[in-house]
Amino acid sequence: MSRLSTVNPDSAAPAAKALLDKVDRMLGVTPNMMRAMAVSPAVLDGYLSFSGALAKGHLSAAVREQIALVTAVENSCEYCYAAHHVLGAKAGVSTADLAAGGHAEASDPKVAAALRFARAVIRDKGFVSDADLDAVREAGYGDGEIGEIIGAVALNTFTNYFNSVGRTDLDFPFVAMSE
């Protein structure tokens, strides 16, 4: 059972309702995580703003979803792992890459390099080695894209922590995190 309260979109205060309506238009549903964030419209607005800004970057939605899977596994967030399987499939990530993404693996070597770098950022708390940075650059990522990888890690770490603290009720099909 969730440890944080949620907002019902039908009876939400105007600021929360506007944000939840935006989510519903974007996704076709209003996930429990966003209903919980809407208790503080500032939190939901911040999340949506950061997510929207990253969507305007160079990394594709598919790569951002795969980074979300790595982040969910590294932070043991079952809610996000399940959610990003659904969102990743919608973004065109193959079934095989959805399964591999949590392990920082992908069929495309360039994407795999981004995922390994994202995992290094998490594991090393940002203090990545020169070799980690060289590897992601050698795969073809410039500094702007590297910044976006770091941004995606930060955004997803926020949602992982939010859902872990709140024990958000899962409203996506459960997907087990394999070792």
Kindly state the average pLDDT of the residues 17-29.
93
Kindly state the average pLDDT of the residues 18-41.
95
pLDDT of 46 over the 80 cut:
yes
Q: What pLDDT sits at residue 1?
A: 82
Which residue type, as a one-letter code, is found at position 116?
R
Give the percent of the chain with pLDDT over 90: 96
pLDDT of 19 over the 90 cut:
yes
pLDDT grade, residue 157 (50/70/90)? very high
pLDDT of 36 over the 70 cut:
yes
pLDDT tens-digit series, residues 104-143? 999 999 999 999 999 999 999 999 999 999 999 999 999 9
Tell me the domain boundaries of the chain.
Answer: 9-55, 61-166
Terminal CA-CA length for the chain: 25
Do 166 and 4 meet the contact criterion of CB atoms below 8 Å apart? yes
pLDDT of 178 over the 80 cut:
no
DSSP string, 105-138: --SSHHHHHHHHHHHHHHHTTT---HHHHHHHHH
Kindly state the average pLDDT of the residues 165-178.
93
For domain 61-166, the CATH superfamily is: AhpD-like (1.20.1290.10)
pLDDT of 179 over the 80 cut:
no
3-state SS, residue 39: coil
Q: What pLDDT sits at residue 33?
A: 97
Arithmetic mean of pLDDT over the chain:
96
Do 121 and 133 meet the contact criterion of CB atoms below 8 Å apart? no
pLDDT tens-digit series, residues 56-85? 999 999 999 999 999 999 999 999 999 999
